[in-house]
Structure 1
Amino acid sequence: MSQSTQHKPVALITGASTGIGAVYADRLAKRGYDLILVARNAKRMENVAQPLREAGTQVEIIAADLTEHNDLLRVEDFIRRHPEITLLVNNAGSTTPGGFGSTDVESIDHLIRLNVTSVARLSRVALDGLLKHKDGAIINISSVMAFAPELNKAVYTASKSFVLTFSQTLQSELEQQGLYVQAVLPAATRTEIWDHAGQNIDDLQG
């Protein structure tokens, strides 16, 4: 990002093209952050970015699939080269349709790479820069599913349990160094993850 960002906090948000990630982009822009948006779909990110730019926020987009090793390395390299980042929002995540017995191993691997591996790796890569700010923060999007093993989403539920425990442990380990780590546990939220789950969110109402 340009030198102007030295005077404003900078947030990097994954999964920023729709849903919760897009909401974080809007809210953080209103709080005075410049933004780096990461997601697979550049066009959708531009749709998120354009009104924010018009309102005076500097927004950079990175089109990347965090389940692809080379894309993940590219985002990690970007973070290393931009120590001005003060907030990391690990929002990117997915699920699979059906229960464990009907999920193929490739889908399991894909989910773990996105929901677990990318969260841990990006947090570690961002850590050194965040600690230098003395008020850096990491926000990890978990889920209330971390407490709901009875809903038969074994890998997804376990991945969100990881995000929660990972966040709690990081907070305990690093709070004395000035880093704040938060786990957010949304309940059913109207996002595209329900399309991947093969379930209608409206079926959960009532």
Structure 2
Amino acid sequence: MSSSITAGTAMVTGASSGIGAVYAEHLARRGHDLILVARNVARLEDLAARLRSQAGRTIEILPADLQQTAELLLVEQRLRDDHRIGMLVNNAGIALAGPVTDADPARLEAMIQLNILAAMRLAVAAVAGFKARGGGTLVNIASVLALAPERFNGVYAGSKAFVLALTQALDAELRGAGVRVQAVLPGATRTALWEAAGVDVDSLPPEMVMGAEEMVEAALAGLDAGELVTIPSLPDVADWERLDAARLALGPNLSRRYPAERYLSVDLPVPAST
């Protein structure tokens, strides 16, 4: 399938395996040169060599641990300054299973560092560069758990809710600037993230688990279709549209001068009608 997105250099974070590696393969086939970011240098080199051979594209590796501030800042600066970069797939992330109350706070903090702080800094750097260059595409990888925080570790779900909210806010902010943004909300996807989180993915019902290849193909189809939010496993997009419309309908009543009547224990003055 050909892309409706103009080819250029794409940066992919978390590119050494899983969703990131599959994005790299698809984007190379679509005509993008690539900058691959991850900690595992050996895996990055293997992937880059394979993609150079298969797709004939320029593939650069940029080894970086995005949980380390100095290394994160180097990647951030590259996004701001490299005029070849027209796309960021903001994919790097980690998960932790189990109750928040039983978790090691240091591991929760590390998850926030990567899933929220690093994702935010790279997204902001990317869109700043894109605005200055007159266009670009930001793809933020969130999760369906942004919509279902009760079903997994609450800090992980909260980190992905942040990514979704950031994407929606950037979309509103960047309208007319020539910058595309997309949040991808995968369900359970067969990647190494599960093992690192302490979960055997084969313990999940097989009908719940999508392959990374299928997930990325659906996400790219959503990008081509101009979707702001893509939920690859959702059969009827109208379900998401109704949820989002209900959220927006709350707007006029989310901030008012007086509390809602159900919270009033005393009579408050009612403003005179005009």
Q: Same fold (TM over 0.5)?
A: yes
User: 1:194 aligns to what?
Assistant: 194
Is 1:153–2:153 an aligned residue pair? yes
Give the counterpart letter for 2:158 in structure 1.
A
User: 1:169 aligns to what?
Assistant: 169
User: 2:219 aligns to what?
Assistant: none
- 47-56 vs 184-193, greater mean Cα deviation: 47-56
- 23-32 vs 148-157, greater mean Cα deviation: 148-157
Is 1:45–2:44 an aligned residue pair? yes
User: 2:108 aligns to what?
Assistant: 108
CA distance 1:57–1:133, change in 2 (3 Å): same
List 4+ stretches of structure 1 deviating above 6 A: none
User: 2:29 aligns to what?
Assistant: 30
Give the counterpart letter for 2:34 in structure 1.
L
Q: Distance in 2 between matches of 1:179 and 1:29?
A: 21
Preserved CA contact (<8 Å) 2:97 2:152: no
Give the counterpart letter for 1:30 in structure 2.
R
Give the counterpart letter for 1:29 in structure 2.
A
Q: Distance in 2 between matches of 1:24 and 1:111?
A: 22
- How many residues are matched? 200
SS of residue matched to 1:109: helix
Preserved CA contact (<8 Å) 2:145 2:152: no
With normalisation by structure 2, the TM-score equals 0.70
- 184-193 vs 143-152, greater mean Cα deviation: 143-152
Question: 1:8 Cα deviation (Å)?
Answer: 5.5
> What are the ranges of 5 or more consecutive residues in structure 1 without an aligned counterpart?
1-6
Q: Distance in 2 between matches of 1:89 and 1:147?
A: 21
Question: 1:128 Cα deviation (Å)?
Answer: 2.6
Preserved CA contact (<8 Å) 1:142 1:186: yes
SS of residue matched to 1:138: strand
SS of residue matched to 2:175: helix
SS of residue matched to 1:62: strand
SS of residue matched to 1:176: coil
Q: 1:88-107 maps to which residues of 2 (within 5 A)?
A: 88-107=88-107
* Structural RMSD (CA): 1.5
SS of residue matched to 2:138: strand
Work out the percentage of aligned pairs sharing the same amino acid. Answer: 47
User: 1:143 aligns to what?
Assistant: 143
Q: Distance in 2 between matches of 1:23 and 1:75?
A: 21
Question: 1:18 Cα deviation (Å)?
Answer: 0.3
Q: Distance in 1 between matches of 2:134 and 2:77?
A: 22
Preserved CA contact (<8 Å) 1:100 1:152: no
SS of residue matched to 2:190: coil
> What are the ranges of 5 or more consecutive residues in structure 2 without an aligned counterpart?
1-5, 207-274
Preserved CA contact (<8 Å) 1:97 1:196: no
Question: 1:205 Cα deviation (Å)?
Answer: 1.1
Question: 1:42 Cα deviation (Å)?
Answer: 0.8
Question: 1:83 Cα deviation (Å)?
Answer: 2.0
Q: Distance in 2 between matches of 1:194 and 1:176?
A: 39
Give the counterpart letter for 2:168 in structure 1.
Q
